[in-house]
Structure 1
Amino acid sequence: MKRNILAPRPNWQNKLEKSGFLFHTPDGEPYWNESACYELTQQEAQTIEDATNSLIEICHSAAETVIDRDWFERLGINSLEADLIQQSWDLDHLSVYGRFDLSWDFKSPPKMLEFNADTPTSLFEAAVIQWQWLDDVYPRYDQFNSIHERLIKRWSQIADKHQTLYFASLMNHADDITQTEYLRDTAHQAGFKTEFTFIEDVGYDSSRMAFVDLESNAIAQCFKLYPWEWLSKEQFGKYINLRSVKFIEPAWKRILSSKAFLPILWELNPGHPNLLPSFFERPTSGKYVEKPFLSREGNQIKIWENGHQQVATTGFSEDPRSIFQAYHELPSFDGKYPVLGSWIVGEESAGLGIREDSTVITQSTSQFTPHFLSSRRK
């Protein structure tokens, strides 16, 4: 993999905004970065794809083990969440998508840092915006990216076309709204009748025992860009019955989205080439990363070496209990450290989005930098 420096397209901001990508420069700092790009070989893309498919398989198997052995307490999952997880698993509710964050030094196999299984973001820029960039900048070359086509196909496998499919996100979060509307568009292209609503506007009608929108229309199936650990704590959380309403992503993804899943995954698959050793107990020596059970955007991450803290981030964590993962050095290109966001749709690898940071911990200030494959399109 190489990092190439290049001139941004003239008037690139307008190009992005015409496509609906309005959060390219939050607070005056660029999030979308096309002053550089990553060049990968077809073989490197294949290595990422193979690693991702292997990780999907062991993650689903480990989730089944957690459910069968009632290991919910080990992951900090309460009884209400556990019941919803069991319901969604028994009803065979299927997943739309997810994103593995991988570290790859190109010397050993790619390593899983974590699995963004429930509410992964940066989808729109990975699926659409970097493809449009490719058409403008490298029109004869390919990209590791079949996300859009796979999403359209996936909806018909998991949802009912005879019922309105709702899409819900939080108010006042431009990136969440954009991603949710993008997913809604892929469902529309798949032939679904869809509606958008804000999470804050979803209500519960106790007389009908149904979730409803602002017009009191019943919601029978809903994609929600809202974590299960938050949804279950809402006032209406105790009324959720997954036999009468289907939420997407399914509740069983709550298992995989917790970083507490990482030690369990290692326990069940010791020595797996795409995993890093991970534990609930703090190591007594060596270099390792401390991660809260639940946190986002690199919040509350600490890097330790032989008992001494080397690097730490601040921010909020939903569950401050920690796991400990062996440190894996990210490669450095021009002083930037890329994390490979390997997307899945359903149960298959679907494409790549790269975020880079000037520090070894990828945070909310990281930049999305597009990529292309050195092989030409067929």
Structure 2
Amino acid sequence: MFIEATQRVMNDDELMAHCGIPQVFWSRIRYSWANHRHLEMSGRLDLAFNGEQLKVFDYNADSTSALFECSVIQQKWAKAVQLESTFLPGFQMHRALVYNWKHMNIKSRVHLLINNDPEEMLTGLYMQQVMNEAGIDTKLCRMTDDLYWKDGKIEDSDGRLVTTVWKLWMWDTIFNDYFNTQKERGLDVDNNTHWIPTNGEHPHLSDIFLNDQIQVIEPLWKVITSNKALLPILWSMYPNHPYLLRSEWTVTDTLKRSGYVKKPIVGCCGQNITLYNNDDETVIDETM
């Protein structure tokens, strides 16, 4: 359903605008959708179950959060409590990740780009182990400290060309970096053809992830699939679907009567979410 909704957004400029993505990136997103569909590796569905009904909160298609926990820790929990089932989901997920990386058929080095967050380091190290088991050469890079411009291309500290990257950065962060970088370089946001990189300089994040010569996992099109604006689109496509919660662009009378949750189109770590009572005024809870 989320993929079908993504296709609808790709075909509709008005829906693309609803996603809050600057228009300068639209052509890149559509190109990624048309040419990089196969580059997806993982995503996370946030689900709720009250004992009777299962509902989808959202689909974090561009997130690897909880990957280590699901693949490794969950398996250890299962063994610790001596589950009778022979199906250990953590082990199955690990095998699936290794299998998927093998079938990516990547011959070059994969650079894993992360920031300085300890949790992301753990996730990065785990994914590096998965790739190595799949027979892929890798290099884990914090920020862009190990990457350099060389004759208009990006190389690592070993002199290896950067052609494929696996990222933990949100695409929204990369978009912001693009605008800041263009401003820093004195360039128009729609045109960077007059800027020539200097050999030995570190590239910016947007130089890497929005580079036509570098394939990115997870790909750019997932900025649509993971966008919260997709939820009301899904509801319009599949009204009253048993796994969906009613989602609207604006607060309707139906939502007011039942109580509702307000969340940003682009969010991170459950921030800026407000839960309203059915009087449309009382805030039951909120996150910052």
TM tier relative to shorter chain: 0.7 to 0.9
| SS in structure 1 of the partner of residue 154 of structure 2 | strand
Matched, 1:154 2:100: yes
Aligned partners of 1:303 and 1:133: how far apart in 2? 32
Relative to its length, the structure with more strand (as a share) is: 1
The one-letter code matched in structure 1 to 2:271 is N
Q: How many positions carry a matched residue from both structures? A: 254
Aligned partners of 2:49 and 2:112: how far apart in 1? 34
1:59 counterpart residue number? 2
| SS in structure 2 of the partner of residue 294 of structure 1 | coil
Aligned partners of 1:312 and 1:92: how far apart in 2? 40
The one-letter code matched in structure 2 to 1:311 is I
The one-letter code matched in structure 2 to 1:95 is E
What does residue range 28-43 of structure 1 map to in structure 2 within 5 Å?
none
| SS in structure 1 of the partner of residue 264 of structure 2 | strand
1:74 counterpart residue number? 18
Matched, 1:119 2:92: no
Matched, 1:87 2:31: yes
Equivalent in 232, 251, 262 of residue 263 of structure 1: 232
Relative to its length, the structure with more helix (as a share) is: 2
Residues 140 and 220 of structure 1, relative CA distance in 2, 3 Å threshold: same
Matched, 1:310 2:283: yes
The one-letter code matched in structure 2 to 1:226 is W
Structure 1: 5+ residue runs without aligned partners?
1-57, 316-378
Percentage identity across paired residues of the two chains: 26
Residues 207 and 132 of structure 1, relative CA distance in 2, 3 Å threshold: same
Structure 2: 5+ residue runs without aligned partners?
182-203
1:355 counterpart residue number? none
Equivalent in 217, 220, 226 of residue 169 of structure 2: 226
Q: CA deviation at 1:218?
A: 2.2
Aligned partners of 1:206 and 1:230: how far apart in 2? 25
Q: CA deviation at 1:241?
A: 5.0
Greater relative contact order (CA < 8 Å, ≥ 6 in sequence): 1
Q: Provide TM-score, normalisation by structure 1.
A: 0.63
Aligned partners of 1:87 and 1:184: how far apart in 2? 28
2:248 counterpart residue number? 279
| SS in structure 2 of the partner of residue 102 of structure 1 | strand
The one-letter code matched in structure 1 to 2:245 is L
What does residue range 135-284 of structure 1 map to in structure 2 within 5 Å?
135-138=79-82, 140-141=84-85, 142-145=87-90, 146-158=92-104, 160=106, 162-171=107-116, 173-201=117-145, 203=147, 205=149, 207-208=151-152, 210-215=153-158, 217-234=160-177, 235=181, 236=204, 237=206, 241=210, 243-284=212-253
1:334 counterpart residue number? none
Q: CA deviation at 1:238?
A: 6.4
Q: CA deviation at 1:66?
A: 0.6
Aligned partners of 1:76 and 1:136: how far apart in 2? 45
Structure 2 contact 274–287 (Cα < 8 Å) conserved:
no
Q: CA deviation at 1:256?
A: 1.7
Structure 2 contact 10–30 (Cα < 8 Å) conserved:
yes
Measured against aligned partners, the alpha-carbon deviations of 1:172-218 in whole angstroms (never above 9, x if no partner) come to x111111111111111101111111012426563742x333345532
1:347 counterpart residue number? none
| SS in structure 2 of the partner of residue 278 of structure 1 | coil
Measured against aligned partners, the alpha-carbon deviations of 1:72-108 in whole angstroms (never above 9, x if no partner) come to 2110011233232112112134210111011112323
Structure 2 contact 74–89 (Cα < 8 Å) conserved:
no
The one-letter code matched in structure 1 to 2:33 is W
Q: CA deviation at 1:299?
A: 1.3
The one-letter code matched in structure 2 to 1:270 is P
Structure 1 contact 95–158 (Cα < 8 Å) conserved:
no
2:269 counterpart residue number? 297
The one-letter code matched in structure 2 to 1:292 is P
Residues 200 and 92 of structure 1, relative CA distance in 2, 3 Å threshold: closer
Q: Provide TM-score, normalisation by structure 2.
A: 0.81
Matched, 1:288 2:234: no
